[in-house]
Amino acid sequence: MFRCKSCSALNKVATGTNGTPICGRCKATLDVSGAPQDVDAEGFNRVVNSATVPVLVDFWAPWCPPCRATSPIVDSYAREKPGEVLTLKVNTDENPVVASAHQIQHIPTFILFKNGAVVARRSGGLSKQALASWVQEAVANSPSVGTA
């Protein structure tokens, strides 16, 4: 599953698809690199509530040294999981309502959602291996909320 940067629609793209995938809604070219995407409150809610794959959200701020140190790790992890995990970035300075709704008190904070529900959260910087292990374990141990 991939989020369109133009209209925020979620798109399923089959593995091994030939050509450049386009958004089913607005026909813009889809970024299928898996790179984290910055979202506002509306984009955050739409993705978390609609995604059929786990959603990793990085709550951060540009002035935060641990956030800046962790950002390339999150980017690298996300690019290894395109279509398997959607990775979003929420700037807590620009989106205080989202941060407050999720009780973000320290940054960076990572929240993992599955089927619209929080399945894990973690604050502080971490290595790529630690991030990957945390996500894998959280997804494996989470209930299949909202699935048949």
Helix segments in the chain, DSSP class H: 41-50, 65-80, 96-101, 128-141
From 4, 23, 26, 64, active-site residue: 64
Which is the CATH superfamily of the domain at 33-141? Glutaredoxin (3.40.30.10)
In the predicted structure, residue 7 carries a pLDDT above the cut 90: no
pTM (2 decimals)? Answer: 0.87
Every domain of the chain and the residues it spans: 33-141
Q: What is the pLDDT of residues 18-31, one digit of tens each?
A: 778 888 888 988 88
Give the mean pLDDT of 13-40: 84
Average pLDDT, the chain: 90
Q: Is 23 a catalytic residue?
A: no
The set of residues, in sequence order, having a beta carbon less than 8 Å from that of 42 and lying 6+ positions away, is 8
- 26 assigned to active site: no
Marked catalytic residue, from 7, 23, 26, 67: 67
The three-point CA angle 52-5-23 to 5° equals: 65
Show the CA angle centred on residue 61, arms to residues 55 and 64, nearest 5°. 120
**pLDDT tens-digit map of 48-66:** 999 999 999 999 999 999 9
